[in-house]
Each structure stands twice: as structure tokens, then as C-alpha cells.
Amino acid sequence: MKKPYERLMEYCRVNTMSDETVETSPTTKVQFDLANLLLKELEELGVSNLQLDETCVLYGEIPATPGQEKAPAIGFIAHLDTVPDFPGEEVKPLVHENYDGEDIKLPLCDRVISVSDFPHLKEMKGKTVITASGDTVLGSDDKAGVAEIVCLCERLLTGDIPHGKVCIAFTPDEEVGLGTSNFDIPRFGADFAYTLDGGRAGEVVYENFNAASAVFTVEGVNVHPGSAKNIMVNASLVAMEINSMLPACETPAHTEGYEGFYHLISMEGSVDKATLTYIVRDHDGSKLDHRVDTLRHIEKIMQEKYGDKVNLKIRMGYRNMAEKVKTRMEIVEAALRATEKAGLIPSTDPIRGGTDGANLTAEGLPCPNLGTGSYGFHGPYEHSVAEDMELCVDMMEGILKEFCV
């Protein structure tokens, strides 16, 4: 029986980068490479009712064991893709056995996963830590979750473990906010579900950011600088003016906990044209709406100054799942009990991000998020802890037992 970290290392070698500039489903065809690999593995394990649809959503289920047919159908979901803004091709995962608790130097560059930046590493001394080699993501977001779900399937299908119906799904394009765009909740068949897309093993998260994205576009007027007076409109300088209107202390680098932010994720510009792309986040829905209103007000001010050369496009994203999950707290409480029984310290700290579960919850499928024993997402510092990944599988098994009749 393969261990979760062994599956993680296999899956990480498959490029599944999504693309935020593409509107097809999936945004990249390479995501089918991992989906087809999983389809074959799950078929061999004996998972039932498998379907990989044309949008790269993979569904499957394991029927209830005898006597547990009346237990609720429980779903587990993870996403296939990795972030588009850091390389995810030719990943070379490394195993650091009996980790010494010190800084981890990555061999293909000068990068270091330092204990000062990641203090939890002190607690991982003696364990097995998985990293990339320094020039790519590892892909543990969310291939750690994928690996843990597949390992759960193998346990259930080879062991004597009572459980109700288990529904599994793997989605594309979560990292670009499109993971549930084509998710068929009735086809999935679960009464409620959990995403495996979190950090520290023991996380049971049911609060997340409300989200929006914003893109300012600026059209400039480019003439020879020697005769530009009262004619030239430098689009890059206008873009800088726009960003200066936002509160400097409300960025990810200056906020924590329930504090929201404006995050400038890219800026491109010349005299002719400039674009500013932001993600906007807040746990409080009314505060997110206020942030969006602030952006619209900036657009109004800039249009009064520069006319129709400045335009703003807003896209509202996922909402805080807490509003609906709080009416079904028994699924959170069961996960917390399973966490303790697995020997983990439970945590319900709000996530400063979002998951497929936020959108699914809004659509009527309650879906808290579970930790995967992984850290440092979205860059070269990603790392997973093999022993904690195993405990995450124990926790999922424990959740199933909590709902046995």
C-alpha cells in the first residue's frame, strides 16, 4: 500500500498549471494528464461509478458497507491544478528523511526554507519532509490532498472499515477561481463534503475570505517627449496614481486574522497602455463590498480627470462559507473529534484564502476545508510532512466512523 507522500511525489511530477488568462474549461489541457492517471489508479483500486467529464472534473464513489446504507453520503474533494504564477513543470521532489529541524537549503538555487520564516519546522524534527528542488513549486497545493484521498480509497477498499457512501471528486482550475464552474453537485451525490486543501494537519476550517478581483486598464496618449506638454498621458504614471489611492497598510504584508486587503498581483505598463490587477479579500461580506466601492470610486475620480482612458472591471468571487456552514456545525464538530482521535491538535482558525468548498457551500453543499500537512503554498518554499499526511488520512477515516449508524 503506497503512502500518501509517495503518491504526492508521483503526482507532483505531472505538470498541471492552470492559466488565469484562458476561459475554456479546463484552462489548460495538461490537467487531463493527472486526471487520466488518477482515473486509471482508481479503476484498479475498485472505485465505483467513475466519470471524467469533458471539463476535467473526475467523480467516483465507494458504496456503503453492509449495515451503513442509511449513513450520510460524505464527500472528499481536492483540486488538480497548481498556480499559474510560479513554475510547475519538471518538478523534482526531494525527500528529507529524519529532518534535523534546521534550515532546508534547496539545491537548484540559493533559496532556503528557513526556520525563521516557517517556525513550525522546529516541530518537524525527526520527521520526513518533502520539498521541491528550488526552481518550481512542489505542487502540494493541492496534490497532497489528492494523494490523501486516493490513499483513503485504498484503505477503504482493502480493509474492514465500516462507512457510509463515500463520494470523491478532483477538480481543475481551483487556483484561478474556476474549480466549481462545472461541478455537478447532484452527480457527486454527497450530503455534505470536505475539501482537502489546507495547511497544517488538524485544520478544520469553515471560515474563509469573501473574494473579488479587479483590473484597471489605462489607455495612454503617446507622443514625442520633446513636444508632449499638455498632450501626453503616460499610462504607467496614471496606473501608479491609481495604486497610490489605496491604503498602503491594507496589503497582505500588513494584515492578519480577520483583516482584509487589496493585493496588487501584477502591473504591466508603457506610455501607451497599463494594467493593474488586484485580488480583494475580506472575511466580512459588507467590508468586501465597501472595498469594491472604494475601487469604483477611484475609477470615477480618474475618469473625471482622464476621461474614458481609465476603466475598471470587477469580478466577484467566492463567499465566506461560514454563513451556511454554521447551520450545519455537526459536520465541523465531527471533524474536530476525528482530528483529536487521530492524535492531532484541532484548529478552526479562519483561512486567509478560499477553496472550492466556499463556492460549493454557497451552492448548497456544505463543505469545510481540512488540512493536508503541507505548508508554504504558491512558491518554491512549499513542503509537506509525510507523517502528518498519514494522519490526515486517519482523520478522514475517523470522520466516516463518526457518521456510522
Catalytically active residues, by annotation:
81, 174
Distance CA 333, CA 271 (A): 56
Q: Is the dihedral of CA 386, 387, 392, 393 positive or negative?
A: positive
Among 9, 11, 3, 48, which residue's Cα sits nearest to residue 30? 11
Residue found by looking up cell 482523520 in the block:
395
One-character DSSP codes across 72-135? PPEEEEEE--B-TTS--SS---EEETT--SS-EE-TTSS-EE-TTT-GGGGGGTTS-EEE--SS
Closest C-alpha to 60, from 144, 152, 139: 152
User: What burial class does residue 255 get, using C-beta atoms within 10 Å of its C-beta: 0-12 exposed, 13-18 middle, 19+ buried?
Assistant: middle
Strand 74-79 vs strand 192-198: parallel, antiparallel, or unpaired? parallel
DSSP 331: H
Residue 266, beta-bridge partner list: 277
For residue 83, give every residue at least 6 positions away whose Cβ sits within 8 Å of its Cβ, in sequence order, or none: 17, 18, 137, 141, 175, 378
Pull the grid cell for residue 353: 484564502
- Grid coordinates given for 319: 463567499
Q: How many residues does the chain have?
A: 405
